[in-house]
Amino acid sequence: MLLRHLTLVATLIAGLLSQVALAAPLSGTYWSPLGPLTVVEKDGAVSARIVDAKKNPCGLAKGTVVLEGSRLDDSVVGTFTACKVGEGCSGATQGSAMLLVTKNGATLSGAVHLDAGTCKTVLGGDSIVLKKGKGPSGTKPTTPVVDKTPPRLRAEKLAADAFTKYQEDGNAETARASFVEATKVDPSYAEGYIGVGMTYKARDRLDEALDWYKKALEANPAVGDAYYNIGCVYAVRGDKEQALRYLRIALLNGYVQLDTLLTDPDLKGLAGDPQFEKLKVGQTD
């Protein structure tokens, strides 16, 4: 399992995953980096359209579909469209998206993979959050600047100490208490949630590990270890379809290296699967 970003800083949104989220219908207005979107779910199909051409930075016409996918378990898997930005960059680009449904359907939080070449996109990175509500009038939400406030520093120290001690004595329960404390000190510290999940995974408590890894995505969808770790848990549980979805987005966005796919014992149950064999050689199509 990965915990590469244990001491890196990160940002944004904290919350608890509710079981009700699995059944919560996705419908209504969601705020996004492209301005307000109308999200509709019908018979398992999910789409999101531009609400107001004046409020989206890409100049897309009202009604333009920017998200198209399917509701699968607790995720929406499909494609997302955004525009390229910067000097000499223009036009739209489309790529894979995997968004976790959280907070009773009020938030979609996850990763996208947009092939923009040397250009940037309006998303600013590989993560995205769609939050129910119209958002601030006339403004575009931006990714908050990471501020190493005292709570973040305390959370990082708690997590780093917990991980070091866990490596030394293997006491998952003691380490877990410190990781949990880190999430309380700074609820936006995604690496703390990953640490808690790691300790549950070490005790083969897979459902609890999965819950905490998903909380990490809610806290900050840009922390890529969570996608890979979720894929590993699904693989150990024998849910190949879900495992491959998360592993694919992790590989697309560079959250995992190919040699890890080749050597991680958590993935041995995927051996021989045609899709997994393609991922192992870097084929993501």
Name the residue with higher pLDDT: 14 or 118: 118
> For residue 88, what pLDDT is reported?
87
* Shared fold status for 19-132 and 150-280: no
pTM of the entire structure?
A: 0.78
Give yes or no for residue 218 having a pLDDT over 70: yes
Name the residue with higher pLDDT: 16 or 240: 240
* Cα torsion 217, 219, 222, 226: sign: negative
Domain ranges of the chain: 19-132, 150-280
Give yes or no for residue 136 having a pLDDT over 80: no
> What CATH number should be reported for the domain whose range is 19-132?
2.40.128
Q: Which CATH number fits domain 150-280: 3.40.50.1100, 1.25.40.10, 2.10.109.10, 3.30.230.10?
A: 1.25.40.10
